[in-house]
Amino acid sequence: MATAANVYWDTYLKSKVSSKVRKSIRIDTLKKVLCLPVSHFDDHHSGELLTRMTNDNQAIGKACSDTMLSLIRNPILALSSFIYLLTINWKLAIICALVGPMTLLVGGGFGKVLRHNSQLLQHRVGGLTSVLQEILGSSQIFKPFGLEKKLLQTFTQNSDDVSKFEIRGGKIQASLSAAANAVGLLSFIVTFIVGAYFTASGSMTVGGLIAFIQLMNHLTWPFTGLASSWGELQQALGAADRIFKTMDERTEFTDIPTHKVNHEFTNMKVDGLSFGYTSSRSILNNVSFHVEAGQKIALVGPSGGGKTTIFKILLGLYEPSGGDIQINENNIRDMKLQELRGYFSFVPQENVMYSGTIRENIACGRLDASEEEIVAAAGDANALGFILELPEGFDTHMGEGGIRLSGGQKQRISIARALLRNAPVLLLDEATAALDNESERLVQKALERLMAGRTTIIIAHKLSTVQQADQIIVIQNGRVAEKGRHDELLQSEGLYHTLYKGIYSESHLKKGKPLYETFPL
């Protein structure tokens, strides 16, 4: 019974320690990841971060239970055995003790190789996870295009790469174990030969030699086991290196802050704004404009001109390389990020929906919102009708990325989220792009309610939707090509005139009327 109880508590306590270590590392890692700037996610695929929080985390947890206990228990067992063997024959005991340094040398040599291989393996696993994420999230593309075979080939190639490093790691681990056992066997043979000599010369009895040989296993076995545990520790350290690399990254915040909406807004001045994602590639060059409270400002121009980049800088996702932005006469460089972001509500072109209910996704706009405020926001966003038609209403689970909803429905959920946030400045990035006419009409009405009484900056390719804007700023190749009201820009016959006439003549005729007369801003 005592043995059974010992096995139970040994297994349970090791499992508990490992679990708590993994949980702590997972939470600390995610906390760090949530504080990383957007630029970090530009350079690192989410699959890589996912691997660090799963596979690497698992390896560290295992090392903190079984491996660490072995590294503590085995030396103690070996030392105790050595002391006991000294009482039988100190000369043979010293010969046996030589197995320790030899085993540690073997473990140290193979350990470095194992650690390096572990890092390379986990990097490949991260790539494999990234490919798998992309495949699983693109069923609506790979099925219509018949990409199953191509994606399988890509996944197989990455899987083969992972398998190669797994097999290599197995070879290294096997070589380490074999070398450690060879050292132990060599020690046994040498001890037996020397012991036989002592017995033949009469300095040691046959019974003493037999007792010594039986007991020396308690000295050699812990050292050979120590080599294997050392190899496992090196693999765990390789995983820890990857996690620590993430933990050492520069962050936006030292700790996750509490965000609050700033309701006071009088004006914003963008002066000489410049930015480049790399030092060799400039996206914005000397962009300047002024926004007064209550105005509707439109950013238009050819794709790739830098319009969305302006939004990213306003939201504090990137730091400008030149120029200044002032809100209420305060430079944003002097603001904390949560203060800066508290001025804005944002409706992106491609909406992000979280796995969970419709209620939870709308409440992302303000986490302390009441049920009445959530329902009101859904109503103002023209989303209440379709939500109530769903079997579970606001408790309907949206699926991964909101896959159970249409594009127009997701867009209206996003607008409801922005309404609930109730920030003074609204940023709209092509909020009606890629929608059918009926969805666009519903979304446009929701946007009208959202823009009412708010300062609004709109990115638009449908120029007919921004004709009533207080100021239209035309961005071309990262520069302000021209700015003014719709009529002024048409009269100047510049780039805006060219864009408007070209788009209008091609696609914006509807029964002899421009689209804005049918769906006014």
For residues 472 and 466, the answer to whether their CB atoms sit within 8 Å is yes
Tens-digit pLDDT string for the chain (521 aa) = 666 777 677 677 777 777 788 888 888 888 888 888 888 877 777 777 778 878 788 778 777 777 777 777 777 777 777 777 777 777 777 776 666 666 666 666 676 777 788 778 877 887 888 777 777 666 666 766 677 777 788 888 888 888 888 888 888 877 777 777 777 677 777 777 777 777 777 777 777 777 777 666 666 666 666 666 767 777 777 788 888 888 888 888 777 777 778 888 899 999 999 998 877 778 899 999 999 998 999 998 888 888 889 999 998 888 898 999 999 999 999 888 888 888 998 888 777 788 789 998 899 888 888 999 999 888 888 888 889 988 889 998 887 777 788 888 888 888 888 888 888 998 988 766 656 666 677 777 777 777 877 899 989 877 777 888 889 999 988 899 898 898 888 888 888 888 887 754 444 434 344 433 333 33
- How far is residue 221's CA from residue 377's CA, in Å, rounded to a whole number? 70
For the chain, which domains are there?
A: 2-125+165-247 (1.20.1560.10), 260-343+456-521 (3.40.50.300)
Q: Are 261 and 422 in contact (CB under 8 A)?
A: yes
Look at residue 220 in the predicted model and tell me its pLDDT.
Answer: 67
Round to whole Å and give the CA distance between 119 and 169.
11
Per-residue pLDDT, 219: 64
d(CA 35, CA 80): 49
Whether 476 contacts 303, CB under 8 Å = no
Instruction: Look at residue 252 in the predicted model and tell me its pLDDT.
Output: 81
Q: Tell me the CA distances in angstroms from 39 to 139, 149, 304, one per residue in order.
A: 28, 33, 18
Residues 339, 333: Cα–Cα separation, whole Å: 11
Inter-residue contact 362 to 374 (CB < 8 Å): yes
What residues have CB less than 8 Å from 443, skipping those under 6 apart? 382, 408, 411, 412, 415, 431, 432, 435
The pair of three-digit structure tokens given for residue 160, joined into one six-digit string: 């083969």
Query: How is residue 334 annotated by DSSP?
Result: G
Q: Catalytic site residue 350?
A: no
Q: What is the pTM of this model?
A: 0.73
Number of separate helices (H) and strands (E) present in the chain: 20, 12
Residues 6+ apart with CB under 8 A from 419: 345, 365, 377, 380, 381, 449, 450
Q: Which residues of 242-276 are buried (b: 16+ CB within 10 A; e: fewer)?
A: bbeebbeeebbeeeeeeeeebeebeebebeebebb
Whether 328 contacts 273, CB under 8 Å: no
Distance, in Å, from the CA atom of 153 to the CA atom of 146, rounded to the nearest integer, reads 13
Pick the catalytic residue: 430, 440, 448, 506? Answer: 430
* Ramachandran angles phi, psi of 354, nearest 5°: -95, 150
Look up residue 213 and give its two tokens.
């040989």
Per the document, the length of the chain is 521
User: How much is the pLDDT for 57?
Assistant: 80
* DSSP three-state, residue 520: coil
